[in-house]
Structures are given as structure tokens and as C-alpha cells.
Amino acid sequence: MGEMFIKSEEFTHMLNANDYPWFYAPELPKEGEIVLDPEETRHMKAQRLTTGEKVSICDGKGLVAIGQVDQEGHVKIQEVHEVPKSDFSLVIAVAVPKGERADWMLQKLAEFGVSTIIPLKTEHSVVLPREAKQERWQRILIEACKQSKQAWLPELKPLSTIEQALQEKADMMLLLDQAGKPVRDALHNMPKRVLAFVGPEGGFTDEEKQQSQKAGCVPVSLGKHILRIETAAMAIATAHNLFK
């Protein structure tokens, strides 16, 4: 079958990528055959996919190919769908929780479709991950996108200070703070690109609050209760999805 390059609005007339198991390839040709990397090939083997079965392959940059398994790890491409990026995006600059809580947070943020994740270094941060963590976290994001069948992979930035994260382009910047106004009031007229700061469980220092507010951050509250880092990150991602 020859090349078929299809815009997302034509999905209803063609094969539906969500009907098949998803795999990942950072470079996705628009025709011919693709050979998956060993990690993805192991996943294909674990799902006991056989010759002739259909699969979907995403590149994390908006392309999704549908093809047939030719042999283990080899897929013949039949169609390629282009999924446009949402007009609305959420960047989360977030302090890093301990252990598996960080893994869970990254997984769920990817499922919510967060566009960018910035691990944040603050005065009260307990966890300051090494660069080696980036590879593991990247894999978690990939797996979450495959599971939730999303064509766009969140961008994972290196560990950053508040000052560095404030350089991120945004139409609105939010700082989670119990003394702030309700988050629903800030997101009522949804801007296209939101940057949200989620601090550690010890909170942001007065100096960090002043620094961020001077740069244009609006303090917003998620309620009267003290939330864990990952809970607060989920809450702001949920609020963003509801209002966009």
C-alpha cells in the first residue's frame, strides 16, 4: 500500500489509530517499513502480537502511523495521521516529590496532556534529582502517552530554579499559594499558554513568592487543605483541562 498522509479531521473516514496497541518511535517515516527499538520490540512481544496484526506508532511530535506487523519489531506502514497540537497548553514547574511519587506524578501529567514539565529546585526542596533521572523519567512519559494514546509527548526540561523557569514563555503565570485567589477565577478566561508553579510541601519562601510575583505570577489557591506535591500538580492539570 502506498503512502497515505492524513490530517486528523479525516480520521473518521480512515482507520482509527486508537483501535490498536500503541508503540513509540522518535523518528517516524511516512511510508515503507519501520523497525522498532529493542524496548518497543519487547513490548510488542509481551503483547503477543503476530504477523498481520495492526498497531499504531507515535513519534511524540504529532504523527501517528498505523501499520501491520511484518515480523517481530518490524511494521509496514499503511497510513500516517497528523494530529495538530492543542491551541491551549500547560507548563508545570513543579518541585520533585520523593521516590515513586515523582514517577506517578510524571505519568499522570502526561496522561492529562501537559505540554511541558520543569522539575523545580526551591529553597525547601527535599529531592534534587541527578541528570541520570532524566532518561528514566523520559521513558515514563513515553509509556504514559502510549497508554493514554496521545500523539504529543510532554517536553521534559532539566532541573531548574524559579528564576530559570520564569524565562518560559507564557500568556499567564500562576503560583500555587493558599493565600491566593481561587484558581477557577484565574482560569475563567483561559489564556492559550499557562505556566503554573507548584512548590514543595514546605511551600515557597517569602522571597520566592516575591520574586515570582514581581515577574508577573498570579497567586492562586486550590483550597484550604495542604496538598502533597503530586496532588497539587494533578489539581492544576485538572483545572486547566476543565477550562480550556
Q: How many domains does the chain have?
A: 2
Q: Whole domain around residue 106: which residue ranges?
A: 89-243
Question: Cell 482560569 appears where?
Answer: 187
**pLDDT tens digits, one per residue of 172-218:** 999 999 999 999 888 888 789 999 999 998 899 999 999 999 999 99
Predicted confidence at residue 130, as pLDDT, reads 82
Residues 94 and 204 placed together within one structural domain of the fold: yes
The answer to whether the beta carbons of residues 74 and 35 sit under 8 Å apart is yes
- Strand extents, DSSP E, 110-221: 116-121, 155-156, 160-161, 172-182, 193-198, 218-221
Predicted confidence at residue 39, as pLDDT, reads 92
CATH number assigned to the domain comprising residue 60: 2.40.240.20
pLDDT average per 10 residues of sequence, the chain (244 residues): 44 73 94 93 91 95 95 91 93 95 96 96 88 90 96 96 96 94 86 95 94 96 92 94 78
Confidence (pTM): 0.89
**pLDDT tens digits, one per residue of 222-242:** 988 889 999 999 999 999 988
Predicted confidence at residue 14, as pLDDT, reads 62
Residues 78 and 93 placed together within one structural domain of the fold: no
Predicted confidence at residue 97, as pLDDT, reads 94
CB environment 61-82: b (16+ within 10 A), e (fewer): ebbbbbbbbeeebbbbbbbbbe
Predicted confidence at residue 15, as pLDDT, reads 76
The answer to whether the beta carbons of residues 17 and 149 sit under 8 Å apart is yes
Residues 179 and 66 placed together within one structural domain of the fold: no
Residues 202 and 128 placed together within one structural domain of the fold: yes
The DSSP element (H or E) to which 229 belongs, if any, is helix 229-243
